[in-house]
Amino acid sequence: MSSMIKIERETAETSISLELELYGSGKAEIDTGIGFFDHMLNLISFHGFMDLKLTVQGDLEVDEHHTVEDVGIVLGQAIKKALGDKAGIKRYGNVTIPMDEVVMQVVLDLSGRSYYAADLEFSRECVGAFPVELFAEFFRSLSSNAGMNLHFMMIRGGNAHHVIEGAFKAFGRALDEATSIDQRIGNKALSTKGSLGEGDQ
């Protein structure tokens, strides 16, 4: 596994520069042009103990969609690249946390097969300049490009800000759990097939 990953991505809609140290200390330098989204990405970095440097120039004069979706694509690619053959990692993450009145659960599997599902309710359409519908766009793009099976379950709901913040925090914790090394696994992937990629279990 190579935990330091650098990706540059240019399209007609966004220009993204990303540096990811998967096994870091939780430091982040993030500027997407969307303040609330920056805050949420900082939470993934901090609670996932990964170092993330991210700069985005997006077509925010159109809307926030391309920026949020493309960050999900690039971050997912970086996670997949950093994990390599996934030798020794725990593979699964299952975390439940409170965020004031909200209780959020995130379950994920770094199986190589992507799937996204979320059972969430939002009390408003936007938090700051972040449309809540883009929550799904971000994590669907991330899970697809990381090869991740990802589920969000809202056990108890409330303020939309707290729902989203709880979800991002829990995701960071679950990803940290899934990418942690377990010495009992040894120099192989946690799969009866001996590898973790599309179609493996």
Under DSSP, is residue 152 helix (H, G, I), strand (E, B) or coil? Answer: strand
What does the pLDDT look like over 130-153, one tens digit per residue? 999 999 999 999 999 999 999 999
Residues 6 or more apart in contact with residue 49 via CB below 8 angstroms = 23, 24, 25, 26, 176
Q: What percent of the chain shows pLDDT beyond 90?
A: 83
Find out if CATH 3.30.70.20 is the number for domain 4-179: no
User: For the chain, which residues make up each domain, given as ranges?
Assistant: 4-179
How much is the average pLDDT of 24-50? 98
pTM for the complete prediction?
Answer: 0.93
What does the pLDDT look like over 97-130, one tens digit per residue? 999 999 999 999 999 999 999 999 999 999 988 9
Beta strand 130-131 pairing with 92-99:
unpaired
Burial class, 136, CB count within 10 angstroms (exposed 0-12 / middle 13-18 / buried 19+) = middle
